[in-house]
Structure 1
Amino acid sequence: MYQYKRRNRQRDDQHLDRWLISYADYMTLMFALFVVLYAMALAREGSLEQLTRRLGDLFHAQHTVVAEPNPSDGIMQQASDDMLYGHGLKPEGGPDLVDGRSELVNFNKRHQGSALSNLEQEFNEALLELINSGFADIQRDEDWLVLTLSSSLLFASGSAAPSANLRAIIPSVAKVLASSDNYIRVRGYTDSSPINNEIFSSNWELSSARAAEVLEQMILQGVRPDLLAVEAFGANFPLSPNDTAQGRAENRRVDIAVSKWGKPEGTDEPLSDGQATDDNESSEPLPDYDEVQVIELPSGGIRITTRRESSEQGEPQP
């Protein structure tokens, strides 16, 4: 009997609820873990908001603040240009340009082509969507009808390769001009940002190449080649200041300028200003000299040529 009671007492003394201690420790550790994870999530969210705010301030500052140039950047750029091209690069230069876009050179001013008002109306109908979206503009005065097309619509940046937009727009332009005999100038313009890549060394070349590409596309669409001419103005005659991105975008353009003067039917070559068509005057070219002639100019210089001037028609050939 004693042994039975002792055995039962020992069994009663065992702590069967000891597992609660381990369970409580486990729950405490899990609670601590989730607290740490929650704290890390809050910290990450705060860092993300701060990063987003800083990036927003940075992009906003790019539109409002012009950073001062770093002198070392110019040195590195110059060194890079020297390594690639040597010292053969020359800066853009030349005499000051005079705005002669309104002047007619080598045009016959005796025959007027299609009415500019009619052409303007046809352009407005054919290019209505482009005009409303701001990619095209039409201006007309007494002598010229000028259709302005944004270069960003026609070409990629720094390129004169025709885009799909160019090939889609020019047929509508050519359809208006194909039936007219007005003289047409295709004028290329750029912004003031310098360009110097493996294809174009200056904005002059870029503006000329873009205008020539538009001219070629117009010829392919049926515009008479004898009415066309290319003019390149580079960064000159901007429409807006070049100190903003919007202004530079407006200055990168191609103008298709249509003159009120046209080419008379049956005329092989346009007549220059004031050139007379006297029937008594011979239209055949004068024969060239057999030998090279050295001609002294009034300014003190000389000209070496074999071509006989028209003023020498009556002089005997030496």
Structure 2
Amino acid sequence: MAIKKKEEECPKAPAWLTSFGDLMSLLLTFFILLYSMSIISLEKFYQVLKGLIEAFGGKQVIFSEGGALKASRIPIQFENMHMRVKKFAELKKEITKIKEELLSMGIEADYLVTGTCMKLRVNTNRLYPLGSEEPYPQAKELFLNMCSRLKPFSLPITFEGYTDNMPISNPRFPSNWELSAMRAVSVLRLFITCGYPQELLSAVGYGEHHPIAPNDTPANRERNRRIEFCIKLNP
């Protein structure tokens, strides 16, 4: 006896409809995500804004309303905004002028920005007698002139002394460490003489370490004998 197949109650949906349904679900999820991202948490916005201003050197954020943000238009006072924002271009311009003047005198010089420090790199071959920490008289005048031009910025400065790898050993300087440190200190003392705030000045000696050229030729060793003015952009 032949068996009769049971008739299907409803026909199967076409295959494309399954893919279409998945696409609609994904689109719905996407628009829900966009909507959730468009809602700004004012509390978190306040924390991010405060962090950014302090990172740029601002001392504080003053709102007309206390606590967290309660409105989208609240004036913020930026009178204590950091030098890096207000005076960076002026400082760079002055450093560039100093560099060009040094080059015109035959003194190798350059500047670079590393992190929060703008460095003025000055070769010491024409500024110090070989093996001495006492600069030439004309070099003293040069350092004093640089001090008078950098003093209006009132930024912390670290003087970094460097030498080549030629060993030195005498009663005054047992190694290049002492010589490089004393050269840095000699510039620091000149800046104090011209009235630069002492609390903003420091000196360090690196000796023959951190060379900018291989110590394999007399010319390269001359390049490594230098003083670097690390002008800190974040007081």
Q: Whose radius of gyration is greater, 1 or 2?
A: 1
Query: How many Å apart are 1:134 and its aligned residue?
Result: 4.6
Say whether the 8 Å CA contact 1:116–1:144 is kept in structure 2: no
* 1:181-206 Cα distance to aligned partner (Å, 9 max, x none): 21111000011010001311000000
3-state SS of the aligned residue for 2:233? Answer: strand
* 1:82-125 Cα distance to aligned partner (Å, 9 max, x none): xxxxxxxxxxxxxxxxxxxxxxxxxxx66633633311211222
**Superposition map of 1:1-318 within 5 A:** 112-113=82-83, 115-132=87-104, 133-262=106-235
Structure 1 segments of 4 or more deviating over 6 A?
A: none
Say whether the 8 Å CA contact 2:99–2:111 is kept in structure 1: no
TM-score (norm 2): 0.61
Alpha-carbon distance in structure 2 between the residues aligned to 1:143 and 1:117: 14
3-state SS of the aligned residue for 1:198? Answer: coil
Alpha-carbon distance in structure 2 between the residues aligned to 1:189 and 1:165: 21
The one-letter code of the counterpart of 2:83 is G
Alpha-carbon distance in structure 2 between the residues aligned to 1:228 and 1:251: 23
Q: How many residues align?
A: 155
Query: How many Å apart are 1:166 and its aligned residue?
Result: 1.8
3-state SS of the aligned residue for 2:228? Answer: strand
The one-letter code of the counterpart of 2:126 is L
Say whether the 8 Å CA contact 2:162–2:225 is kept in structure 1: yes
Say whether the 8 Å CA contact 2:107–2:126 is kept in structure 1: no
Alpha-carbon distance in structure 2 between the residues aligned to 1:260 and 1:205: 28
Calculate percent identity across the aligned residue pairs: 29
Alpha-carbon distance in structure 1 between the residues aligned to 2:220 and 2:98: 27
3-state SS of the aligned residue for 2:90? Answer: helix
Alpha-carbon distance in structure 1 between the residues aligned to 2:89 and 2:223: 25
Alpha-carbon distance in structure 1 between the residues aligned to 2:100 and 2:178: 31
In the alignment, structure 2 segments of 5+ residues that lack a partner are: 1-56, 60-81
Report the counterpart of residue 53 of structure 2 in structure 1.
none
Over aligned residue pairs, what C-alpha RMSD do you find?
2.0
Alpha-carbon distance in structure 1 between the residues aligned to 2:116 and 2:233: 5
Alpha-carbon distance in structure 1 between the residues aligned to 2:183 and 2:107: 20
The one-letter code of the counterpart of 1:150 is N
TM-score (norm 1): 0.46
3-state SS of the aligned residue for 1:186? Answer: strand
The one-letter code of the counterpart of 1:248 is R
The one-letter code of the counterpart of 1:113 is M
* 1:121-150 Cα distance to aligned partner (Å, 9 max, x none): 112224423134352212124521111111
Query: How many Å apart are 1:153 and its aligned residue?
Result: 2.0
